[in-house]
Every structure is written in structure tokens, then in C-alpha cells.
């Protein structure tokens, strides 16, 4: 027996999945892209299709990553991850939310959001948030700045975070929504109280915003009024296991935004933060791979993330997404050689269609796995169409880390308890029994018989 375990690197091309478009000859951006390095990684590895939560289930990045990181413990909420990633300290157990200020129109008693604020709205947003901070109301929230038009809202008056979003997300389909107590809330009375309090605060906030001089001035300048304060991503900081406690692996991440910084920090993962450079795709991703390699010298699991594929998909320009993928492929020239020593998985966390009106979808997302213990399948080109016939078949997000552990010779044995909790992988640092102070009676007896003591 010998130790031939391999390190693991999980690479996420955010929003990689897509659907065929006429502009690309009825191909997806990945199918249309020239990807010699990803083709080679496919040829020497095994492939499949990643559908994070099963067929037909569209999802968000944070939920996919939580599952891809092997986390079965309750998800704490994206608002918390964003707050931690921006250095905002939220007291434990205090409900908090992401608050956005959005342009909107009031029509037939309903508020209809008109997209999102832009950088030109920054000063107006600051002034309006300042007004909301001092608005008399029982909720009495604290508003922590995030980005333009965004805050973290926390309140010690709220007794529950188990309430629904007021942000419709799809403003072209739904008006601003009423916060409701979640059916899953264990304390329904507390959830109802918090939902009604949040509803009251939003109503008061809209009244204030409608009459505020900043919005009066915007209306005179024929700019949309910023009158929709909407909440989402209900969160609460509670005790969580670290990544290593829950998986057995010492974890690290090359992060790209506040969300991923917060995700790594809340799971106790080491990290190197490289802000996304959307203008220099190839150089940006080369830097991420190099940082990931450094982290892999001291950690058994490393996550490398890039946002550029998702951003390209949201522009609704299939050709742009194709070009972005080609830039990423050029930066992946080290991966085939790297996979001789490290188990590498490359996939997307969800699909971001570059055509149509949806934000995220459940379209198939390619997955490639290559490593020193991998016997290749028969697939040799990188695309959703070809990866459907790969040996991995269709897998969910929660299956990725166990599969990576298996191909890295790190799979934990079911039924073998190596610690106080079951882990996905053989633990890097199991708690050893300390014998340093144990008296060796056999050694003492032998010495006494020979007259040495």
C-alpha cells in the first residue's frame, strides 16, 4: 500500500451552459467555440453533463456552489455571503436581507420595477438610502452599503428571516411582491410578524421615496424614479461546519467577487482574491490558474472561479459568449499537463442562455474530469452534445465532490468512522490518539530484568 492520493481542483465557468442559437448555426456558444485545450482535456479524461439539481431545475450560482462544495448543512443565505465578502459584520442569529433600490413606476396600485440602477445613479442612490436610514419606523433597520443601489438590511426588531422576497427578480413579469411567511418556517408566528413588519417598512419607504426631492428632480429630468426598495436573499448567521469538517478536505479558493469571498470565508477556506477583469479574459484566467496551483501545494481541494461566461450570457450576444469561451480556452493550456498530477474538473454552475428572455435556465452544462487515476472514455471534443455520451452520464451538483474524491483515490469508506462526523473524503487531518505520554511497561520490565534500572 502507498499514498497515491491526488489533489483536487474544481474550475467553474460561471453560467457556462447555454442553448443553441440560429446566430451560431444552431449550436451553443461552447459548441461553436474553437477550444483545442478543452478538447484535449476531454480526450484524456471522462466527461458528462452537469444538471445541478436535476432536469428542468434552474438555479442560482450560490446554491449550485454550496452543493458542489459537498455541503449538506443548511444554506445560510446569500445576503450573509455578500456581507461577509464585503467585510460587513452581522451579529449571529440576526435576520438580514439584500436591499436593492430600483427604478419603477406605480400603476394600478402595483409597483413595477424597470431594470436596475446604473453607475450614473450612484449619487442619487446614496442620498435616498440616507433618507431611508433616518425614516421613522418600528423596523429601524441598519443599512450597510454594498454596491451602487445595494445594501445589506439588518434589524434587531425582526425575529425571523423565514420570509419571502419582495424583489420580483423578473421585473418584466411580476410587480414588487409582498413579503410572506415561508411555509417551512418552524415558528410561524415569528415569521408572520417579521413579514408584516417588512411589508409595513417597504410601504413607508415607497411613500418617502415618491415625495423625495431627488426623485422629483429625476422626474423633471425625465429619468425613471428610484422608488422600489426591494428585499431578497433572507439570511441568518448560525454555527456552520468548516469545509474540512464537512468534507474531510483542506479547502482553498481563488475568488472573483464578494459572493465567493464570503462563501470561502464562512467555510473556513483559504483564499486568494483576484477581482474579475472582464476586459482581459485570457490574462485574468491565467492568473487564476497560477494562484490555484499555489494553493494546491498546501491544500487538497482548490476552487477556481470565473464570472466572464455568465456576464457574456447576460448580454444576450451568443457570439460574444463564444469569443469569451475561446479566450478562457487559451488560458487553459496548462490543464492537460497539470491533470497528470492533479484531478481537474471543469464545469459550469448553471446555464445562462445568451438568447431569449430567461436569466438562468436548466439547459445542460458540460463537465470534464481528468486526472492521474482517470481512464479516458471515447469522447474527444468539448461540447454539450458530445459530453452527453461521456462515461459520467448526467450528474447533479452534490455528486461532483464525491466523484472527484473517487478519481483522486480519496473516497471515504461508508461505515468507517474516521471522526465524529461522516465526511465525503478520507480526512486530511484525522484526530490521532496521542501516545506520547504512554508508559511502555514492556520496556520497563526488560530494563529491570537486566539490572539497567
pLDDT at 66: 98
In a domain, 1, yes or no: no
- Same structural domain, 21 and 96: no
CB 236 within 8 A of CB 97: no
Where a domain ends, among 204, 235, 266?
A: 235
Q: What is the largest CA-CA distance in the chain?
A: 105
Whole-angstrom distance, CA of residue 129 vs CA of residue 61 = 27
pLDDT for position 449: 55
Give the chain's domain count: 2
Q: Tell me which residue range forms the domain holding 191.
A: 85-235
Is the domain of 49 the same as that of 181? no
Q: Please give the Cα distance from 45 to 62 (Å, whole number).
A: 27
Q: Are residues 207 and 253 in the same domain?
A: no
Predicted pLDDT at 451: 55
Q: Are residues 135 and 186 in the same domain?
A: yes
Whether residue 392 sits in one domain with residue 256: yes
CATH of the domain at 385: 3.40.720.10
Helix boundaries (H) for 148-250:
188-211, 213-220, 243-247
pTM of the model: 0.93
In a domain, 157, yes or no: yes
Q: What's the confidence (pLDDT) of residue 25?
A: 95
Q: 248 in a domain, yes or no?
A: yes
What pLDDT does residue 419 have? 85
Domain for residue 198, yes or no?
A: yes
Based on the fold, state whether residues 190 and 204 are members of the same structural domain: yes
The last residue of one of the domains, among 235, 251, 271, is 235
C-alpha pair distances (Å), 401 with each of 49, 65, 69, 171, 405: 15, 11, 7, 36, 6
**Residue 32 belongs to some domain of the structure:** yes
Confirm whether 174 is domain-assigned. yes
The closest of 101, 192, 130, 87 to 141, measured between CA atoms, is 130
Same domain for 376 and 331, yes or no, is yes
Q: What integer pLDDT is reported at residue 420 of this predicted model? A: 86
Contacting residues for 163 by C-beta, under 8 A, at least 6 apart: 179, 180, 181, 182, 191, 194, 195, 198, 234
User: Do both 227 and 268 map to the same domain?
Assistant: no
Same domain, 264 and 364: yes
Q: Which of 12, 15, 13 is nearest to 313 (CA)?
A: 15
221 and 95 share a domain?
yes
423 assigned to some structural domain: no
**One domain for residues 223 and 190:** yes
The domain boundary, picked from 182, 214, 235, lies at 235
Same domain, 90 and 111: yes
User: pLDDT 10s digit of each residue in the chain, 453 long?
Assistant: 789 999 999 999 999 999 999 999 999 999 999 999 999 999 999 999 999 999 999 999 999 999 999 999 999 999 999 999 999 999 999 999 999 999 999 988 899 988 889 999 999 999 999 999 999 999 999 999 999 999 999 999 999 999 999 998 887 889 999 999 999 999 999 999 999 999 999 999 999 999 999 999 999 999 999 999 999 999 999 989 999 999 999 999 999 999 999 999 999 999 999 988 888 999 999 999 999 999 999 999 999 999 999 999 999 999 999 999 999 999 999 999 999 999 999 999 999 999 988 889 999 999 999 999 999 999 999 999 999 999 999 999 999 999 999 999 999 988 888 888 889 999 999 999 999 888 776 655 555 555 554
3-state secondary structure of 249: coil
pLDDT the model gives residue 418: 87
Tell me whether residue 448 is in a domain.
no
Amino acid at each position: 500500500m502507498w499514498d497515491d492520493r491526488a489533489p483536487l481542483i474544481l474550475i467553474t465557468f460561471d453560467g457556462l451552459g447555454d442553448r443553441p442559437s440560429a446566430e451560431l448555426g444552431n449550436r451553443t456558444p461552447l459548441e461553436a467555440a474553437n477550444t483545442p485545450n478543452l478538447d484535449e482535456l476531454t480526450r484524456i479524461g471522462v466527461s458528462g453533463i452537469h444538471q445541478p439539481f436535476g432536469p428542468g431545475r434552474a438555479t442560482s450560482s450560490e446554491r449550485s456552489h454550496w452543493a458542489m462544495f459537498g455541503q449538506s448543512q443548511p444554506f445560510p443565505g446569500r445576503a450573509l455571503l455578500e456581507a461577509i465578502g464585503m467585510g460587513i459584520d452581522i451579529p449571529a442569529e440576526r435576520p438580514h436581507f439584500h436591499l436593492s433600490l430600483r427604478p419603477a413606476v406605480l400603476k394600478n396600485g402595483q409597483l413595477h420595477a424597470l431594470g436596475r440602477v446604473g453607475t450614473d445613479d450612484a449619487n442619487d442612490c446614496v442620498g435616498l438610502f440616507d433618507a431611508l436610514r433616518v425614516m421613522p419606523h418600528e423596523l429601524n433597520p441598519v443599512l450597510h452599503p454594498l454596491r451602487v443601489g445595494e445594501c445589506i438590511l439588518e434589524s434587531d426588531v425582526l425575529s425571523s428571516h423565514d420570509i419571502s422576497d419582495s424583489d420580483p427578480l423578473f421585473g418584466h413579469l411580476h410587480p414588487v411582491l409582498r413579503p410572506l411567511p415561508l411555509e417551512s418556517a418552524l415558528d410561524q408566528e415569528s415569521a408572520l410578524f417579521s413579514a408584516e413588519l417588512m411589508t409595513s417598512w417597504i410601504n413607508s419607504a415607497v411613500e418617502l421615496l415618491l415625495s423625495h426631492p431627488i426623485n422629483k428632480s429625476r422626474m423633471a429630468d425625465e429619468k425613471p424614479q428610484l422608488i422600489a426598495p426591494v428585499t431578497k436573499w433572507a439570511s441568518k448567521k448560525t454555527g456552520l461546519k468548516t469545509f474540512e469538517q464537512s468534507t474531510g478536505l483542506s479547502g482553498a479558493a481563488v475568488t472573483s467577487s464578494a459572493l465567493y469571498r464570503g462563501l470561502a470565508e464562512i467555510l473556513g477556506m483559504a483564499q486568494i482574491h483576484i477581482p474579475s477583469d472582464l476586459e482581459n479574459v485570457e490574462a485574468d484566467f491565467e492568473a487564476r490558474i497560477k494562484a490555484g496551483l499555489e494553493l494546491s501545494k498546501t491544500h487538497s481541494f482548490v476552487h477556481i472561479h470565473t464570472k466572464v461566461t455568465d456576464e457574456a450570457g447576460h448580454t444576450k450576444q451568443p457570439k460574444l459568449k463564444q469569443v469569451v469561451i475561446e479566450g478562457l480556452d487559451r488560458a487553459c493550456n496548462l490543464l492537460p499537463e497539470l491533470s497528470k498530477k492533479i484531478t481537474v474538473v471543469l464545469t459550469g454552475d448553471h446555464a445562462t442562455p445568451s438568447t431569449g428572455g430567461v436569466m438562468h435556465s436548466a439547459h445542460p452544462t458540460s463537465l470534464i474530469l481528468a486526472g492521474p487515476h482517470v481512464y479516458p472514455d471515447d469522447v474527444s471534443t468539448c461540447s454539450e452534445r458530445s459530453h452527453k455520451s461521456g462515461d459520467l452520464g448526467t450528474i447533479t451538483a452534490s455528486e461532483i465532490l464525491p466523484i472527484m474524491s473517487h478519481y483522486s483515490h480519496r473516497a471515504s469508506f461508508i461505515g468507517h468512522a474516521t471522526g465524529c462526523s461522516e465526511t465525503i473524503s478520507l480526512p486530511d487531518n484525522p484526530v490521532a490518539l496521542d501516545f506520547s505520554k504512554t508508559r511502555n511497561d514492556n520496556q520497563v520490565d526488560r530494563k529491570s530484568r537486566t539490572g539497567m534500572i
